[in-house]
Amino acid sequence: EGALSRLQVLAAHFGTAEASENHPGGIKRHPTLAGAEEPSHQQASVNTPYKARTGITSRREYERLYRQSVEDPAGFWAHVAEGYDWKQKWDTEHMRSNLDLDRGRVSIEWFAGGRTNICHNCLDRHVEGGRGGQACFLWEGNEPGQDAVMTYKQTLDAVCQLSNWLKSVGVKKGDRVALYMPLICELPIAMLACARIGAVHSVIFAGFSAEALAQRVQDCQCRVVITASGGIRGKKTIPLKQIVDDGLKLAEKAGFKAEVCLVFEHPAVPRQKCPWQAARDVWWREAMARQASHCPVEWVGAEDPLFLLYTSGSTGKPKGVLHTTGGYMVMAGCTTKYIFDLQPDDVYWCTADCGWITGHTYLTYGPLLNGAQVVLYEGVPNYPSPGRVWQIVEKYKVRQLYTAPTLIRSLEAHDAHFVTDSDRSSLRILGTVGEPINPRAWDWFNKVVGEGRCPIVDTWWQTETGAAMLTPLPGAWPLRPGCATLPFFGVQPVLLDEKGKEVQGAGEGILCLKAAWPGALRTIYGDHKRFESTYFSTFKGYYFTGDGCRRDEEGYYTITGRVDDVINVSGHRVGTAEVESALQSHDTCAEAAVVGFDHPIKGQGIYAYVVLADGTSASPEVKKALVATVRSQIGAFAAPDSIHFAPGGLPKTRSGKIMRRVLRKIATKEEDQLGDTSTLADPGVVPKLLETRGK
């Protein structure tokens, strides 16, 4: 194939025309949920007809482009990038990366020399193209009947006002701004307002506790915190401003002081009831009233930071994953377009919160880059009834619905009429992310929700990857329940055995990624060494994902779950070390070890072994106090489901290392598979743990 025809193929697919529109300790398998289910690799293929408007309608077509994307990544992504506005073009040699520690510092650069702005590409570009009157956000409140629409022009005006306010309080390019907000339009608006002026946003999920907030604001040394008086989810009011005040007080004790706190008044907590520090706090409405709705864009370098997002690893405190502007933008836009077949005007709903990476890439940036109408829902999926999600689908005529297996399982547990009572004929594509989806839930999503006519895109990726890495493209090839199928363009997955040798053909191994992709994290904020050692030292030259994976004869990839000490609870990443350190901070706890176990709704639950301090006896009150400690130090979502007091201590090797494999087997009641326990310093610990289980 000649260079010309290659370029033509690329141009046809990615042209500008549419601008208007430490660990490998053995491979752990994710426990099969609901016991009797067949594992996903034994499932039959499902062929759901769908004709993608992107033009990629067959595996052959995909493979042609995929080959180009890995043979000439710089050229491939440059073509994609041309679909966006740039103030200044990138250098000809714009992709400069080194993933191999033996060759020096790990570094990743895309579109080097280029200047752009993601806010401009999400908003101004569409408004300038005559689409300012189109809906940008379709906001649905907690209570049915509470809603609001914001057009692209209105969103741009609101973003400019906030950008102007940020500048008025001295926020400059590169400064960090922390956001701790409910899922109201002002949250993505605040993200975009930071991006517009080159400030770096750090969204802290509003389910995190005051202590978790304190840790994050301190680490990123933000100048400003943006929050709301409160939020409401289901029947629960959340006093967000109170939590921020508590968090900032804790941070102050540790020597960090935020300069300004901007507070949006949410009806859930009226201003009279909101704690206030006049010297620091400012009401959103009053502040915006004084700001002009025009604010010039700061054209930033492609490698200037866009945002920080804290995530959990297998050890230590949360890591501030840093994403930069150009590569992230290009990949967010491109993956959203191809995976969801997203076109301007489509009504698209992603149920994630902006507090997680999915809410960054696939609720905010990706859909807005494509000019879509984005549904934002503030409440919980089962309020006031388990039919709410489907009522929202009917109300807005949602075309693409992207959600998490945990939500699917929780709604599947109810009578099917909750689904079928609502008209779902608008739905064309369904998506899942965040954790392995068990075949039964997949089947329900496919048959009951999608009536067998909507392809399900099971997208595998991570906070660190920035965008989806393994994913079906709708209609292009047969699907299989629980299987993420094939790599996205430019993504080169490899399976490594424990010695670091690449597994060829069908087989199983540790999933790593070879070669850099544009949306990759660039560093861990303030700790490049940790970045290198976490992701690039396990296997030299490869990005280590932490996930186990299987590849079959068709080349399909199926994720088998984490191989490290990270637990995935309802699709939320929880580090066992963080939960352990929270438990250990309580007076009653001498030692703690945390493992994951099979949970019918959450995917994985948290099982904590606790050795009590001398003089403390086991009691339900102590259990409660320990759970409360985790809630207050991390957040409710990380609260252990089970606490198991271990009077005889924890199983340790002679060198003092906790044998987690044994703890996992005891928690999942698989003691017949304990394996070799002869290397334990005290093998007598095991029968004691079995005796005390469930007590």
**Active centre residues (catalytic):** 564
Question: Which residues, 6+ apart, have CB-to-CB distance to 326 below 8 Å?
Answer: 81, 90, 110, 111, 114, 116, 301, 302, 303, 518
Taking CB under 6 A as the binding criterion, the range among 42-50, 94-102, 432-440, 491-499 that sits at the site for ligand PRX is: 432-440
Helix axes 73-81, 326-339, angle to 10 degrees: 80
484 touching ligand PRX, by CB under 6 A? yes
Query: Among 346, 508, 547, 598, which residue interacts with ligand PRX (rule: CB under 6 A)?
Result: 547
462 touching ligand PRX, by CB under 6 A? yes
Task: Tell which positions 617-636 bind ligand PRX, by CB under 6 A.
Answer: none
349 touching ligand PRX, by CB under 6 A? no
564 touching ligand PRX, by CB under 6 A? no
Given CA atoms 635, 641, 645, 650 in this order, what sign does their dihedral have?
Answer: negative
Taking CB under 6 A as the binding criterion, the range among 47-55, 170-178, 544-552, 687-695 that sits at the site for ligand PRX is: 544-552
556 touching ligand PRX, by CB under 6 A? no
CB 99 within 8 A of CB 542: yes
Query: Among 436, 455, 487, 518, which residue interacts with ligand PRX (rule: CB under 6 A)?
Result: 436
Name the 3-class secondary structure at 359: helix
466 touching ligand PRX, by CB under 6 A? no
Query: Among 83, 305, 355, 434, which residue interacts with ligand PRX (rule: CB under 6 A)?
Result: 434
Name the 3-class secondary structure at 395: helix
Name the 3-class secondary structure at 627: helix
442 touching ligand PRX, by CB under 6 A? no
Task: Tell which positions 272-331 bind ligand PRX, by CB under 6 A.
Answer: 311
460 touching ligand PRX, by CB under 6 A? yes
Query: Among 156, 193, 433, 650, which residue interacts with ligand PRX (rule: CB under 6 A)?
Result: 433
Q: Which of 311, 523 has the CB closer to ligand PRX?
A: 311
Q: How far is the CB of 427 from ligand PRX (least distance, A)?
A: 19
Q: How far is the CB of 314 from ligand PRX (least distance, A)?
A: 11
Phi, psi of 124 (to 5 degrees): -50, -45
226 touching ligand PRX, by CB under 6 A? no
- Closest by CA to 168, choosing from 297, 305, 299, 288, is 288
E strands, 421-460, are 429-433, 456-459
Residue 130 Cα distances to 124, 125, 591, angstroms: 10, 9, 62
Beta bridge partners of 431: 402, 457
Query: Among 509, 546, 605, 635, which residue interacts with ligand PRX (rule: CB under 6 A)?
Result: 546
CB 23 within 8 A of CB 315: no
Taking CB under 6 A as the binding criterion, the range among 213-221, 449-457, 458-466, 660-668 that sits at the site for ligand PRX is: 458-466
132 touching ligand PRX, by CB under 6 A? no
3-state helix/strand/coil string of 151-210:
EHHHHHHHHHHHHHHHHHCCCCCCCEEEEECCCCCHHHHHHHHHHHHCCEEEECCCCECH
Q: Which tokens belong to 673?
A: 């598979």
CB 305 within 8 A of CB 325: yes
Q: How far is the CB of 576 from ligand PRX (least distance, A)?
A: 14
Query: Among 151, 291, 336, 568, which residue interacts with ligand PRX (rule: CB under 6 A)?
Result: 568
538 touching ligand PRX, by CB under 6 A? no
Query: Among 191, 457, 559, 569, which residue interacts with ligand PRX (rule: CB under 6 A)?
Result: 559
Query: Among 336, 446, 463, 523, which residue interacts with ligand PRX (rule: CB under 6 A)?
Result: 463
Residue nearest to ligand PRX (CB): 463
358 touching ligand PRX, by CB under 6 A? yes
**How far, in Å, CA of 394 to CA of 480, rounded?**
27
Query: Among 298, 435, 508, 578, which residue interacts with ligand PRX (rule: CB under 6 A)?
Result: 435
- The conformational region for residue 526 under phi > 0 = left, psi -120 to 50 = alpha, else beta, is left
Residue type, 632: S
218 touching ligand PRX, by CB under 6 A? no
Cα 560 to the chain's mean position, in Å? 18
Q: Which of 311, 446 has the CB closer to ligand PRX?
A: 311
Q: How far is the CB of 330 from ligand PRX (least distance, A)?
A: 18
- Closest by CA to 633, choosing from 243, 307, 80, is 243
Residues that bind ligand PRX (CB under 6 A): 311, 357-358, 433-436, 458-463, 484, 545-547, 559, 562, 568, 573
